Every structure is written in C-alpha cells, then in structure tokens.
Amino acid sequence: MIEGAQEYYDAMTEWRDGGSVGEQPSFEGVGVKALDEYTVQYTMSKSVPYFTSVCCYAAFYPANRQFVESMSAQDDGTSSFGNNKDNFLYCGALILDELTPDSIRRFSKNESYWDVEDVHFDQVNVLYYRDQESIYEAFTRRSQLRAIIDDTGAILI
C-alpha cells in the first residue's frame, strides 16, 4: 500500500531478529514525508481508493513526539512505545487496564477525559473467541452483546 513500507518492515524484522548485520534499516525509502508542521504526504505503491478510510486505523493516529522519544529502547533497539498499557497515550473516554492477546482487552473510564460526565460505562471488556461454538454459547448465555469477525475469520467480541 505505502511505497517501501513492506520492504522497510521486512528489513527491520530481519535486523531485529539478528538475521541482518550492520546498521538499522533506514526509513528514507518509505513513502511517508512531513511536508510541514501540519501536512503529511503518503506515496502509494499502487492505487488505493479506500486509503482515506485506512487513515482511521490506530496506526495512523498522531502521537506526541516528546512522549514517544522518551520511551526507553528495548533489547532489540526498537522503542517500547505502545508495547504495554503504561506506554500508550490516551485521549479518549477509556484507558486500557488489561491486555491479554487472543483473550481480553479490559478498559476503564478515563477520569481525565474532557467529557467524563457523559461516559456511562465504568468498564468495558472486549473478549476474543477463536471459534463459532464459543461465541454461540456466549450469546445464548446472554453474556455477550455483539460480535465482529475479522479478516482472518477470528471472532472478536
């Protein structure tokens, strides 16, 4: 989608996993450039008519540079930004309290949220199910309110 992004990702993965010796791969070949303080330019490797909707994904959210750069480096040299609940930036109504991959994401009300008096949930649990039988059981017990099937066929609650 974004020119050079896959190549950069692959090179970083190989470098981080020790398969590549030498300098950390450069981001220079990736089609993302800040034109000025308020403008970002994306160069696509092919036509992507739905790109504006892709920009709503969390990977495209802006982040405070000072906060990101203040994160310590991990053993592999990459930033620790976003790798646990204490290294996230929050600006919404909920804060991540627990994250167990392929199991649960538990959120609580962000008491610092600008409109906290209109946040009507104290806690939200997002559960992950691997099969349709489990989701059916959760619905019949009335313990779940909705389900999302992602592009891999996994069922998310």
- 90-157 to CATH, choices 2.30.40.10, 3.40.50.300, 3.40.190.10, 3.20.20.70: 3.40.190.10
Residues of the chain with pLDDT > 70: what percent? 87
Q: How far apart are CA 126 and CA 69, in angstroms?
A: 30
Task: Please report, for the chain, the start and end positions of each structural domain, with discontinuous segments joined by +.
Answer: 90-157
Residues of the chain with pLDDT > 90: what percent? 28
- Please write the tens of the pLDDT for every residue from 88-131: 887 789 998 988 877 888 999 999 899 999 998 898 888 877 77
State the pairing for strand pair 39-42/32-36: antiparallel
Residue 147 has pLDDT above 80, yes or no: no
